A and B are shown apart, each in its own frame.
Chain A
Amino acid sequence: MVKTSLPREEYLISGHFACPGCGAALSMRIALKALGKKAVLSIPACCWAVIPGPFPYRNLEVPLLYTAFEVTGASVSGLSEGFKAMGEDAIVVGWAGDGGTADIGLQSLSAAVERGHDFIYVMYDNEAYMNTGIQRSSATPEYAWTTTTPVGKREFWKKGWKKDMVGIMVAHRIPYAATATPAFPEDMYRKFKKAASIKGPKFIHILSPCPPGWRFPEEKTIEVARKAVLSKVFPLYEVENGRWRVTFKPARFIPVEEYLRMQGRFRYLPEDAVRYVQETVDREWERLLRKEELSKEGPIW
Chain B
Amino acid sequence: MKAVLTGNESAAWGARLSRPKIVAAYPITPQTTIVEKIADFIANGEMDATMIHVESEHSAMATCISAEATGVRTYTATSSQGLALMHEMLIWAAGARLPIVMSVVNRAFAPPWSIWSDHMDTVAERDTGWLQFYAENNQETLDSVILAYRIAEDRDVLLPAMVTEEAFILSHTVEPVEIPDQGAVDDYLPPLDLPHRLRPGEPVGYGSLMMPDQYMEIRYRMARAMRRARRVEEKAYEDFWDTFGRLYAPVEEYKMDGADVALVIMGSIASTAKDVVDSLRERGRKVGLLRIRTFRPFPAEEVRKALSSMDAVAVLDRSYTFGHLGALATEVRSALYGSSPPIKNYIVGLGGRDVRVRDLEWIVSDIEKVAKEGLDREITWVNLRGGEE
Binding site for B on A (CB under 8 A): 37-40, 42, 49-50, 52-55, 58, 60-68, 70-71, 73-79, 81-86, 88-91, 107-108, 110-111, 115
Contacts and interface: CB of A to CB of B under 8 A. Distances in A.
Interface stretch (B51-59, B281-289, B362-370): B51-59
B80 interface: no
A49 B205 CA distance: 10
Contacts of A65: 66, 69, 198, 205-207
B205 A60 contact: yes
B3 interface: no
Nearest to B59: A74
A111 B206 CA distance: 25
A288 B209 CA distance: 41
Interface residues of B, number: 43
- Most B Cβ at <10 Å: residue of A67, A78, A84: A78
B59 A81 contact: no
Nearest to B48: A85
Given A37-B201, A75-B63, A75-B66, 17 more contacts: A52-B205, A66-B206, A68-B88, A71-B62, A74-B59, A75-B62, A77-B52, A77-B59, A78-B52, A79-B66, A81-B50, A88-B200, A91-B200, A108-B58, A108-B59, A111-B55, A115-B53
B104 interface: no
A38 B199 CA distance: 9
A53 B181 CA distance: 49
- Most B Cβ at <10 Å: residue of A54, A70, A77: A77
Contact of A54 (B53, B64, B210): B210
Contacts of B206: 64-66
Contacts of B313: none
B58 to A, nearest CB: 7
A85 B200 contact: no
A67 B66 contact: yes
Nearest to B198: A63
15 contacts: A52-B208, A58-B204, A66-B206, A68-B62, A68-B88, A74-B59, A75-B63, A78-B24, A78-B66, A82-B22, A86-B71, A86-B72, A89-B200, A108-B62, A111-B59
A223 B21 CA distance: 49
B85 to A, nearest CB: 11
B203 interface: yes
Contacts of B1: none
A38 B201 CA distance: 6
Contact of A74 (B63, B68, B197, B211): B63
Contacts of A60: 203, 205
A155 B206 CA distance: 42
A61 B63 contact: no
Contact of B209 (A42, A55, A110, A111): A55
A79 B52 contact: no
Given A75-B65, A78-B24, A88-B70, A66 B52 contact: no
Nearest to A84: B50
Contacts of B66: 42, 65, 67, 74-79, 82
B50 A85 contact: yes
B388 interface: no
A82 B67 contact: yes
A49 B24 contact: no
A71 B66 CA distance: 10
Nearest to A11: B203
A281 B70 CA distance: 44
Contacts of B188: none
Contact of B62 (A55, A67, A84): A67
Contacts of A110: 55
Nearest to A70: B58
B148 interface: no
A16 B24 CA distance: 35
B237 interface: no
Contacts of B59: 71, 73-74, 77, 107-108, 111
A208 B216 CA distance: 35
